[in-house]
Chains A and B, each alone.
Chain A
Amino acid sequence: MAGVTTAKKDHLSHEMGMHTEGLLGRTQQRFFDISEENVGYGYPDAPDVDFNKRAEIDCENLETKQINIQLRDLIRRGCGTIVLKNPGSKHSIAVGILNRLNLYIEGSCGYFACGLTDGPNIRIKGRVGWACGENMLAGTIVIEKNAGSQFGAALRGGDLVCKGSVGARTGIDQKGGNILVGGDTGSFTGFMMQRGRMVILGNAGKNLGDSMYDGTIYLGGEARSLGVDAVPGVMTDLDREWLTRKLKMYDMYPQGGIDHIKKIVAGKQLWNYDNLEPGEKKLVL
């Protein structure tokens, strides 16, 4: 993980083995290292795939389980490019794929689409239901239409992109990676966000960034209200450089350009990773 200092074991919590990361300096700037993005793809036992080897699955008369079994079977046989036709908004399509793959889903998906993935590049032509890309570790998911609530819940890495609008609690508990939204988002966007970056080119609902611990939200439009402990941040050249590059990557262009985008960060009044553990907490421990 970029920028996390090694534990010096100089706090009681370290000695107790509760965590190994240094508590000092866990700020946004320290995580902000463009050069380290997209590094670390691949799962130890993942099969090698050939991107020129292409296959199709017609999901019309298949149950979710059958679709996912066929998908895994094709990956095992080395298919690197797979097209899913007629997904029919079924739930849990393409979950838990742990290797590189180009996956095209020609239609809409239901709940938990492409969750727990680690590496594949997925493009969805339709809409997705709740919790798309939840717990994704690496890779990209690009959705052409709208998305439901809890978009990218507990996202840990990779790029999760929705060209349309998304529902409530987008990026709830986000722990890394990037969420990019071309349209609007609902209430409690970025709720309890811990790390990572979120870009919303449209408007956001009420309580944007409520109880966020860390991470950055970039907002192109207006928010109905900011949540508890979410405060306006200062845009730097690094922010602008990253936004320009990232949005261009997915053909997303904010109205009024990058300069109109606002930055929202954690006020760190509720929780502050930069500080030592509070004395009273140590007593409890």
Chain B
Amino acid sequence: MCGIAGLIHRDGSGNIGQEMTAMLQSLKHRGPDSTGYAIYGSPGRNEYVMRFKVAEQEDMSKGFDIHDEVRRRRGIVEERLATLGVHVIERDDATEYAYRYRIQYDGDMKKLADYVEDVEGTEILSMGNALELIKDLGDAARVADQYDLRKFKGTHGIGHTRMATESDVDIRSAHPYWAYPYNDIAVVHNGQITNYWMMRREFERKGHRFMSNCDSELLAVYTAYNLEHGATLEDSLKQSIQDIDGVFTYLVSTKDSLGMAKDTMAAKPMVLYESDNLVALASEEVAIRSVIHHEIDTWDPYDEEVRVWRA
């Protein structure tokens, strides 16, 4: 089933970590397997925030050696960053197996990502100028506490509560997804994509990486590919309704925008609230009500509807 939510402050920064947590927690019943956030803070100059993990959450309960192994893997990542000339400004240990590094780097992002992800068990969750992508098993309250997200200030964000249907219950298969080299893009999706394998093969031939077997990752790669080739976010969303087969409602966020697209069948839910200073959208209205307490008007976007808002 899955629940998706998005929020954008059109008049500056807001308490996006707390707000997204409230929205996703109220959608817990749509999928308690994992929760993910893609939240956008203040972009630093020539800086990137790299969020990566070196093991899955469930790996940590498999014996004592894994703790040494995690340290070893992190050490290799550090060595590789140094080899490529990456300057690490700040290191945060979000958990024992997932970290947040503030880095400076002016080389090839794809080369960096490939080199780091070559380390066993390692996956870059996001590497963005403003984007920070956090995902882990459990509900929103648990993930927010684990990664200390409630204090996060930012302009916009999207999130996902997952009911795993087509791929495993692990961080790798959790939403949101990002795709390089367009490094500030994130996607959350509710639905099934039926031409996933066909399109995945096309993109793999073009050199794109797929980290999971989850059909939703295709949307991130697809959007990143379109944006890289000069399409606007709106163009990409509109085109996806023709290109992507299946039932879907998905949200895409970039450094300064938030977009949504609904398939031709309008088979997956989405409720929308729009005002001059705030746009909130979610699979169910109960999520919007968790952040807006006064009386509001909400509605369902129709089939093939595409909307884009700027922060």
A binds B: yes
Docked-complex contact A110 and B286, CB < 8 angstroms: yes
Bound Cα distance from A133 to B298, whole angstroms: 19
Give chain A's interface residue range (CB within 8 Å of chain B).
20 to 34
Are A167 and B289 CB-contacts (below 8 A) given A89-B284, A186-B303, A205-B302?
no
Q: Are A187 and B265 in contact (CB under 8 A)?
A: yes
B303's contact among A111, A130, A164, A205, by CB below 8 Å, is which?
Answer: A205
User: For the complex, is A88 an interface residue (Cβ under 8 Å from B)?
Assistant: yes
Does chain B have a CB within 8 A of A127? yes
Given A88-B289, A110-B284, A110-B286, do A149 and B299 touch, yes or no (CB 8 Å)? no
Nearest CB in chain A: distance from B242 CB, A = 15
Given contact pairs A145-B297, A148-B269, A149-B266, A89 touches B286 in the complex (Cβ within 8 A): yes
In Å, the complex CA distance between A110 and B288 comes to 11
Chain B's closest residue to A168 (CB) is: B266
Residue of B267, B286, B295, B299 touching A90 (CB-CB under 8 A): B286
The DSSP consensus for interface residues of chain B is loop
Cross-chain pair count, CB within 8 angstroms: 68
Partner of B299, one of A146, A168, A169: A146
Encoded as 1 (CB less than 8 Å from any A CB) or 0, chain B from 253 to 275 comes to: 00000000000111101010000
What residue in chain B is nearest A126 (Cβ atoms)? B295
Q: How far is the CB of A227 from chain B (nearest CB, A)?
A: 13
Q: Does A117 contact B (CB under 8 A)?
A: no
A206 smallest CB distance to B (angstroms) = 7
The answer on a CB contact under 8 Å between A149 and B284 is: no
Question: Which residues of B from 123 to 137 have beta carbons under 8 Å from A?
Answer: none
Instruction: List B271-291 residues whose CB lies under 8 Å from chain A.
Output: 271, 284-286, 288-289
Residue with the greatest number of chain A CB neighbours at <10 A, chosen from B265, B295, B302? B302
Q: State which of A90, A164, A168 has its C-beta within 8 Å of the C-beta of B302.
A: A168
Q: From B285, which residue of chain A is reached at the shortest CB distance? A: A89
Minimum CB distance partner of A164 in chain B: B299
- Looking at B264, B267, B271, B297, which has the most chain A CB atoms within 10 Å of its CB? B271
Interface presence of B300 (CB below 8 A):
yes
> Which chain A residue lies CB-closest to B269?
A130
Note all chain A residues with C-beta closer than 8 A to B271: 129, 148
Contacts of A107 in B (CB 8 A): 295
A221 CB, nearest partner CB in chain B, Å: 14
| Contact residues in A for B303 (Cβ distance below 8 Å) | 168, 186-187, 205-206
A227-261 to B contact mask, C-beta < 8 Å, 1/0: 00000000000000000000000000000000000
**CA separation between A91 and B269, bound complex, in Å?**
14
| B266 A187 Cβ-Cβ under 8 A | yes
**B297: shortest Cβ distance to chain A, in Å?**
6
With the chains together, A64 CA to B302 CA distance in Å? 28
A108 at the interface (CB under 8 A from B): yes
Cα of A129 to Cα of B287 in the assembled complex, Å: 12
Contact of B300 among A108, A126, A146, A188 (CB under 8 A): A146
CA distance A149 to B289 in the complex (A): 19
Task: Assess the A167–B297 pair: CB atoms within 8 A.
Answer: no
User: For A121, what are the chain B residues with a Cβ–Cβ distance below 8 Å?
Assistant: none
A89 and B273 CA atoms in complex are apart in Å by: 14
A127-B269 in contact (CB<8A): no
Report how far A130 CA is from B269 CA in the complex, Å: 8
Q: Within 8 Å of chain B (Cβ to Cβ): is A165?
A: yes
Partner of B298, one of A90, A127, A166: A127
- When chains A and B are docked, how far (Å) is the Cα of A188 from the Cα of B267? 11
List of A residues within 8 angstroms of B269 by Cβ: 129-130, 148-149
**Are A89 and B302 in touch, CB under 8 angstroms?**
no
Indicate if the CB atoms of B266 and A108 lie closer than 8 Å. no
Chain B contacts of A164 at CB under 8 A?
A: 299
In A144-182, the 8 Å CB interface with B consists of 145-146, 148-149, 164-169
Inside 8 A of A148's CB, which chain B residues have their CB?
269, 271, 300
- Give the CA-CA distance A145 to B300 in the complex, in Å: 12
User: Which residue of chain B has its CB nearest to the CB of A125?
Assistant: B295
A121 shortest CB reach to chain B, Å = 23
The 4 closest A-B pairs by CB, nearest first: A168-B266, A167-B300, A89-B285, A89-B286
Q: Which residues of B contact A (CB under 8 A)?
A: 264-267, 269, 271, 284-286, 288-289, 295, 297-300, 302-303
13 chain-A/chain-B pairs, Cβ below 8 angstroms: A88-B286, A88-B289, A89-B284, A89-B285, A108-B289, A127-B285, A127-B298, A129-B269, A145-B297, A164-B299, A187-B302, A187-B303, A205-B266
Interface residue ranges, A against B (CB under 8 Å): 88-91, 107-108, 110-111, 126-127, 129-130, 145-146, 148-149, 164-169, 184, 186-188, 205-206
